[in-house]
Amino acid sequence: MPLSSLIPPASPRRAGASPRTAAKVTALQRGIDVLNCFVPVNQPLSHTELSRLTGLPKATVTRLVATLLHAGLLRQDHRSDKYELGPRVPSFSSAYFSTFDVRAFARPLMERLALDTDLSVQLTVPADLDMLIIEVCRPPTSMLVTRLDIGGRIPMSTSAAGRAYLACVDPGTREALLRRMEVTHGEHWGPIRKQVDVAIREAQRIGYCRSMGEFYPDVHAIASALHTPRGDIVALNCGGPSTLLSRQRIVNQVGPMLVDVTVRLGAVMGA
């Protein structure tokens, strides 16, 4: 999937908006587009690369970069004259993550599940067409674990967490998301949609769904989702190398354990 496909398009002009108001909104969206360029690549980018990824003229990118530098949202890598996310960005992340009280309830249960299964456990929330990781627990003894960290994003369409979320949302929201995924995946959508449909039925039937190497080769994962008391949907993801998480082990052990943890999390939150 090209990096440019991960960048949301500029917002269309709102009917009845004055040109001055519309220009302000467009400028803000373009600044967000520039910041979004750094999420999938996680490396410094030049003016030329930012222009190519956003589709904006270099002169516009230069003005946006100057504003973002002044705000501390970007900083310049003086070794290469490229740009990377700035020191103000973590403060936004911290403020955002602090709104999720579910993390405090989930962490002890996640730690126990990671210890008992020797697998990594992530707590995720929806973020556009991805799932955003807001908490991670890893087994203390195993080195064969997935290296997904807090703040990382995994695709909703191919990850177990994303499919569990899709199984939990209302049908209208689900279909709208699936239509957007079809545009993103293009000609590859057919087989992926079949896998998503199977996973949704699986989650609704037994409480969890699987992604068997579809997000990342040789990595298996299962996930279960639930509604929080304030109306959010979160998904618990448990995964690791296929050698540690076989289909048989999922059915006989890890799947039921994950469902139990999800039920217990709902109970302690009062969901």
DSSP code string of 15-47:
TT--HHHHHHHHHHHHHHHHHHTHHHH-S-B-H
Q: What pLDDT is recorded for position 261?
A: 97
Where do the structural domains in the chain lie, given as residue ranges? 3-89, 99-269
> pLDDT (tens digit, 9 = 90+) per residue, 65-117?
999 998 989 999 877 889 998 888 777 766 665 555 788 899 999 999 999 99
- Quick one: what percent of the chain has pLDDT higher than 90? 61
Would you say 34 and 65 are in contact if contact means Cβ atoms under 8 Å apart? yes
Q: Is 128 left (phi over 0), alpha (psi -120 to 50) or beta?
A: left
The fourth-level CATH superfamily of domain 99-269 is GAF domain (3.30.450.40)
Kindly give, in sequence order, each residue whose CB lies less than 8 Å from that of residue 260, ignoring residues fewer than 6 positions away: none
DSSP-derived secondary structure letter, 74: E
Q: What pLDDT is recorded for position 146?
A: 60
Two tokens at 269?
């939150």
CATH topology of domain 3-89: Arc Repressor Mutant, subunit A (1.10.10)
Two tokens at 158?
């191919």
Q: What pLDDT is recorded for position 25?
A: 72
Q: What pLDDT is recorded for position 256?
A: 97
H/E run at residue 212: strand 209-212
Of the CA atoms within 13 Å of residue 116, those in its CB half-sphere come to 16
* Distance separating alpha carbons of residues 133 and 50, to the nearest angstrom: 26
DSSP code string of 224-253:
EEEE-TTS-EEEEEEEEETTTS-HHHIIII
* Residue 100 Cα distances to 74, 107, 137, 149, angstroms: 26, 12, 16, 17
Kindly give, in sequence order, each residue whose CB lies less than 8 Å from that of residue 2, ignoring residues fewer than 6 positions away: none
> Along the chain (271 residues), what's the average pLDDT of each consecutive run of 10 residues?
36 40 71 85 85 92 92 86 84 62 90 95 94 91 68 93 96 95 93 96 95 91 93 94 94 97 91 62
